[in-house]
Amino acid sequence: MTEIIGRYALIMQPHPVLSAADINLSDIEFWRRPWSEREGAFATLRAENPIPFYDEPLLEGSSIEFPQGPGYYALTRHADVATASRHPEIFTSGQGAVSIQDMPTEMVEYFSGMISTDNPKHARLRRIVSNAFNPRNVKAIEDSIDRIAVEVLDRAAKNGTGDFVSDIAAPFPLQIICDMMGVPPSEYDTALQCSNVILSMGDPDIIPEGTDPVIAFLEAGATLTGIMEELGKFRANNPIDDITSALINAEIEDEKLTQQELASFFVLLVTAGNETTRTAIAHGLNALTQHPDQLAIWQGDYETHAKTAVDEIVRWASPVIWMRRTLSQDYVLSGKELKSGDKVLLFYNSANRDEDAFVDPYRFDVTRTPNDHYGFGAPGPHFCLGAHLARREITVMFRELFRRYPSLRATGEAVQLQSSFVNGIKKLPYGF
C-alpha cells in the first residue's frame, strides 16, 4: 500500500507541460492527459490568459453534422465564474448549458431540461420541482439512502475486491434516484447504461468503435424518456408516495409539469444527478487512499468532520467540469470585452483550484474551512437543485464505509474518463 500511495501522491498536483499558447481546451487529446498535466494547464491559464478564446470542437465519428459555431471564451478564475453565475440576465442558459455546439431546441429541452432555460420558464420549473420535495418525501429519500448504502456495500464486500466504480460508486446514487422516482428495479441496469452513454462524450470504452456517438446519445435519451413517460402516465391515475407521483400531480399556481417536462427532469436526474455523486464518491475514496493522514482525521471523528470532508471531496473531484452560457448583451468581464451572442464556458474545475480563492488549493484537507467551492455550480438561480441530496449521499456512503468496512481502500490507479465535461473515473480497483 505504501508504494501505491507514493505513486499517486502527486496525482492532483499541477504539472505544467504546456505553454498558454499550446493549450487547447477543445482538443480531446488535452482531456486524455493525466490530471496533473491538466491542472498545470489551468494554473497557467489563470496566471497568464484567464479568459482565452477557442474554436468549437468538431463532433467526430457521427453521420449527423452540426455546423461549427463561432467559438467560445473559457472562464478559468473563481471570481469570473461567480460573476457569470450571478448575472443570468446577461450570461443566459436558454440556448444550451451542456453543449458547446448549438443544438436544435428540441434536443436542448430533451436532454438538459431546466438547466438550459432562463426565467420565467426556469423559475416555473424549479418551483414545481422544489415543491415535490416536501418534508415527507425528503424523509423517505433519506431512509432510502441509508438502506441502499448498506445494501450496496454488503453486496460488494462478498467478493472482497473489485472495481469501486461499478460495484459501489455507480449503482449507489442511480438506485437512489430510481427508488425515489418509483422506477422498478428491472429498469436500473438500463438507466445506468443510458446514463453512461449520455455522459461518455464518446469515450471508446463506453461507445464501442464504429458506433455513431450522436446516435447512441439520442437513443439513450429516448430510452430514459420512454421509461419515465410510461411511469408518469401510470402515476397520473395511480399515485403513490414517490417523487414521480408528486411531480406529475403537483399544481403550483395552476401550473403542472407536462409529460415531456417530467421525462426531461428524469433524464437530468439520471445523468447529472447520478454522475455528480458517483464521481465525487470515486474521487473521495481515491483521495482518502492517497492521503492517509486525512483518512485518519476523518475516521477518528467522523461526525465532527463530515460536513467539511464532504465539501472538500466535491471541491477536489469537481465532477462537472463546465457549463455553458451565452451573452445577451455586450459586457466587460475582468477587462475582457465580450459581445452579445458570445459563448462562455464556466470551468468549475479551474475555479476550484484558484490560488486567489483557496489557501493551498492542491492540498486535500478534510477540515478545510472556509470552502467556497463550485462543485455544485456557482451561486445563482442555476445552483444545483440536488446539492443537498448529493451531500447526503456522500455523507452516508462514507459513514457506512467507515463503520462497516474501515479497511476498504483503492488498490490501483484510477482510470480517467476521456471527457471534457465530466471529471469521471471509469475504474478504480479496491480491496479490504
pLDDT in tens, 383-392: 988 899 999 9
Class of domain 2-431: mainly alpha
pLDDT in tens, 297-341: 999 999 999 999 999 999 999 999 999 999 999 999 999 999 999
pLDDT in tens, 132-164: 776 777 788 889 999 999 999 999 999 889 999
Q: Which of 35-44, 104-113, 172-181, 207-216 has the highest mean pLDDT?
A: 35-44
Return the higher-pLDDT residue of 346 and 106: 346
What pLDDT is recorded for position 4?
A: 41
Half-sphere CA count of 281, side-chain side, radius 13 A: 33
- In angstroms, the CA 321 to CA 60 distance is 21
| Distance of alpha carbon 400 from the chain centroid | 23
What pLDDT is recorded for position 103?
A: 80
| Helical ranges in 59-118 per DSSP H | 78-86, 105-112
Report the mean per-residue pLDDT for the chain.
89
Report, as an integer, the average pLDDT of 11-31: 90
What pLDDT is recorded for position 196?
A: 86
What pLDDT is recorded for position 12?
A: 66
Question: Which residues lie below 8 Å from residue 228, measured CB to CB, with a gap of 6+?
Answer: 181, 183, 244, 262, 263, 266, 267
Percentage of residues of the chain with pLDDT beyond 90: 61
- In angstroms, the CA 257 to CA 244 distance is 11
Return the higher-pLDDT residue of 409 and 198: 409
pLDDT of residue 97 exceeding 80: yes
Peptide bond into 120 cis (omega under 30): yes
For residues 192 and 170, the answer to whether their CB atoms sit within 8 Å is: yes
- What does the domain layout of the chain look like in residue ranges? 2-431
Cell of 279: 464521481
What pLDDT is recorded for position 251?
A: 63
- In angstroms, the CA 97 to CA 117 distance is 8
- In angstroms, the CA 39 to CA 28 distance is 15
CB atoms within 10 A of CB 177: 25
